[in-house]
Amino acid sequence: MRELFAPAKLTWFLEVTRRREDGYHELRAEMTTLAFGDSLELDEAQDYLTMEGAELALDATNLVTRALALVGRRAGVHLIKRIPPGGGLGGGSADAAAILRWAGGVDVAAALTLGADVPFCLLGGRALVEGVGERLTPLIFEKRDVTLLVPDFSVTTALVYRAYDEMVAAGQRPSGRNHLEAPAVLVEPRLGETLAWARERFGEVTLAGSGSTMFVAAHVDAHRESWREEGPEGPVRVVQTTTAP
Catalytic residue among 9, 38, 81, 95: 9
Note if 9 is an active site residue. Answer: yes
Could you tell me the CA-to-CA distances from 25 to 10, 41, 159 in Å, in that order? 19, 34, 13
Catalytic, 107? Answer: no
Nearest to 90 by CA among 33, 150, 15: 33
Whether 111 contacts 97, CB under 8 Å: yes
DSSP letters, 75-100, are: -EEEEE--SPTTSSS-HHHHHHHHHH
What are residue 160's phi and psi, to 5 degrees? -65, -45
Closest CA to 8 of 215, 218, 229, 220: 215
How far apart, in whole angstroms, are the C-alpha atoms of residue 180 and residue 17? 12
Count the Cβ atoms, other than its own, within 10 Å of residue 168. Answer: 14
Choose the catalytic residue: 47, 117, 145, 221. 117
Positions of E strands within the chain = 2-19, 25-43, 48-52, 76-80, 126-131, 135-138, 145-151, 206-207, 214-216, 226-231, 234-244
CA distance 30 to 12: 5
The DSSP code sequence of 129-144 is EEETTTEEEE------
Residue 132, φ and ψ in degrees, nearest 5: -100, 20
Known catalytic residues? Answer: 9, 117
